[in-house]
Amino acid sequence: MKVIPIPAQAGITGFESPAAEYTQLGMSLDDLLIEHPSSTFIGIAQGESMQDIGIFDGDMIIVDRHETARNGDVIVANFNGEFVCKILDKKRRVLLSSNQQYQPVTIHDYDSFSIEGVVTRSVRCHRQSPLLCGH
């Protein structure tokens, strides 16, 4: 895929023709979004718990298993048999939502918990596609 970088501002009333200063970058979306292809998977976000950091229901999340989760990272984890997307608070052993309507979840010693990967990107579909987005 060829990428044509066109700056577009929110609230614009029109924009210059893309052909005015035509530039083409030889880069694919894989190159732009995925750093470690062999250890990356794409998931679909469900629910509203991460919306305050910009991950909405139905968004694609790019999850990199190669990255080591750091404090404050958005992660996908298996928590007691359920896949969750949360903010990791390593110091307090807590999973946080970005939506204040959801309470923090403490990770106890008796819980089954494993980090599946770090969310490195999210992609929002503005036109629903049965192949790419979860709607």
Report the catalytic residues.
Answer: 49, 86
CA distances to 17, 19, 39, 77, 102 from 114, rounded to whole Å, are 49, 49, 16, 6, 21
Q: How far apart are CA 60 and CA 47, in angstroms?
A: 12
Could you tell me the maximum CA-CA distance found in the chain, to the nearest angstrom?
62
Alpha helices in the chain (DSSP H): 29-33
CA–CA separation, 50 vs 72, rounded Å? Answer: 13
